[in-house]
Structures are given as structure tokens and as C-alpha cells.
Amino acid sequence: MTRVIAVTGKGGTGKTAITTLLIRHLTRGNKVVLAVDADPDTNLPETLGCEVHRTIGDVKEFMHEERDNLPPDVNKQSILESKLYEVLEEMPGYDLLVMGRPEGSGCYCYVNNLLRGIMNKLVDNYDVLIIDTEAGLEHFSRKIFKQVDDLIVVTDGSRRGMGTAERIRELVGELETDVAHIYVIANKVTDSTSETIIRTAAELELELIGMVPLDEMIVQRDLAGQPLMELPDDSPAVKEIENISRKLNL
């Protein structure tokens, strides 16, 4: 069974950084990983250190446009499948798919329906599927991903951030996707914020699974435009991700 992990939270809290460090952990443990960037504000390829030229959005656009031109006897499912493999970026230890967005504004229900079947089949090839997603959980409401084992809400520890975690829990209740566990990771934690974070999480009855410190090594890499995959083992954020991974049994 593929373990499905979705990382969500408010923009800027560190979803992409946390996703990257979880991928760093997983690939070092020789897990076969499919990483999906499902945030329209795509930046996972950059933090992973991987160049991506085409997205699933482009494939959707192609299928949407070609739908009426394709002869009725061709198998549209297999065309979409081969197109999907073309945009699957193969990296050492993991594969990456970027969802992106189709250009047009039409209804993509037809393509989304095809995509759902293909994605669910593709996912079986991996030990872990990890999705960097936006706070709106758009791809889950379209049921592209039908089941999630661990929904990780990243918060920066501010009241607003914690409010988002609570809102996401409500949203999950309304979704048709099955979510087995919801956890919160507080990120960019400092001495002055840790106490408030622990208290707020308890008040909101959120399961706080880890507190990733504000890490100067991440700040430096971010400024230099360097990926986070090669952060050293002694980076404080990496160490906490190791603790979290242990708790999550990853």
C-alpha cells in the first residue's frame, strides 16, 4: 500500500520547505517516492533542485483541446496516460509531477475524470506519495486524490496560522476524500513563540507532531537560491524532521 501524505497550510508558512525535507528523509531511507506539487504557486521543483518544463495543466489543456478532434475509436485514457508519463520528472530516488493549471477557463471535468483513474493507478508504483498543496485543498475537492493517510498542516505558530489549521480540519470534514490522520507541524519556531504554539494547539485540540525551528541554514539557502535537498544532517530543521518522521513511522 502506498502511504499518501499531503502537506497543506497558509501561504508562506513553509509547506514547500517541510515537504522537501520529508522527501529528503524518505529518499535517504530508500523509499520510492512520488512528489506532487499541487500548489498553483509552484515552488517545489526549486527547493528540490529540479527543473520542470511542463505540467499536468499543459496535459489537461492538450486533452481539452483535442477532445473533439480525436477519432472516436482511440483510447483517450491511454493517450492521457502517455502524456502524463512525458511530464513525470524522474530524479534520483523520486519522481516529480507538477499539477500547474490549464490556461483556459472551460470545464475540465472530463479530463479530471480521466486523470483521477490514471493518477490512482500511477500511485501504486510508489512507497510514498507526498503532495505539496495549497490551503484550499482544491485537488482533494475534485477527488484527484481519493485517500490521504496523513494530512500535515503547517503553521507558523501565529494565531492566524493556527486558525488556518482549525479551518482546514473543518474543510476536511466537508471533503469526500478520506483523511485518516491530521497533524500540525509548527514551523519557523523560536524560543519566544514555542510556548504559545503548544498552548494554542492544545486549546484547538490539534495534534502537534513537531516544532521545526527557524533555521539560519534554510534562510541562507533561500537567499542564495539553493535547493534544500542538500541541507546537512546537523541543520536544526533537518533534525526535527527526523524526529517527526520517526513519530510518523516514515
Ligand X SMILES: Nc1ncnc2c1ncn2[C@@H]1O[C@H](COP(=O)(O)OP(=O)(O)O)[C@@H](O)[C@H]1O
Interacting residue ranges for ligand X, rule: CB under 6 A? 9, 11-17, 43, 187-188, 212, 214-215, 218-219, 222, 237
Alpha carbons 199 and 28: distance in angstroms, whole number: 34
Give Rg (Cα) of the chain. 18
12 vs 136, which CB is nearer to ligand X? 12
111 vs 157, which CB is nearer to Mg ion? 157
Smallest separation (angstroms) from Mg ion to the CB of 144? 18
16 in contact with Mg ion (CB under 5 A): yes
Q: How far is CA 164 from the centre of its chain?
A: 17
- Listing DSSP states for 69-132 in one string gives TS-TTS-HHHHHHHHHHHH-EEETTEEEEE----SS-S--HHHHHHHHHHHHHHHTT-SEEEEE
With a CB cutoff of 8 Å and minimum separation 6, the contacts of 103 are: 57, 61
47 in contact with Mg ion (CB under 5 A): no
With a CB cutoff of 8 Å and minimum separation 6, the contacts of 241 are: 18, 21, 22, 24, 25, 210, 212
68 vs 191, which CB is nearer to ligand X? 191
216 vs 222, which CB is nearer to Mg ion? 222
Smallest separation (angstroms) from ligand X to the CB of 13? 4
Smallest separation (angstroms) from ligand X to the CB of 31? 21
Smallest separation (angstroms) from Mg ion to the CB of 42? 8
- Taking CB under 5 A as the binding criterion, the range among 16-24, 25-33, 109-117, 190-198 that sits at the site for Mg ion is 16-24
Residue nearest to Mg ion (CB): 16
- Chain residues binding Mg ion by CB under 5 A are 15-16, 39, 43
